[in-house]
Amino acid sequence: MELASLLPLVGIALLFWLLIIRPASRRQKELARMQSSLGVGDGVVLTSGFLGTIRELDDETARIELAEGVVVTVARGAIGTVTQPGPAAAGEPEEI
């Protein structure tokens, strides 16, 4: 009798895990994988919406060029997406 009364609660917990927790952890892992694979020259979009190009990378920070001569230092976690891979990653020679 008690087991039957706990079944709906267990079902709700399982549904919550499948619909909310599992997809969020997948997104978190994918974001961490993307941020660890960044390279100098990659075009990026910061979580604040700024577009720029990576000029220097550190373990915790990145220096992003937003416009010619405008370079900002941001936490690596502030990089939301990669817009285009850098020349070394794409296999194209750099322009001199």
pLDDT tens sequence across 21-45 = 888 889 889 888 888 888 999 999 9
User: Residue 45 half-sphere exposure, CB side, CA atoms within 13 Å?
Assistant: 8
- Res. 90 pLDDT band, cuts 50 70 90: very low
Is pLDDT at 91 greater than 70 in this prediction? Answer: no
pTM of the full structure: 0.64
* Poorest-pLDDT segment among 19-28, 43-52, 80-89: 80-89
Is pLDDT at 87 greater than 70 in this prediction? Answer: no
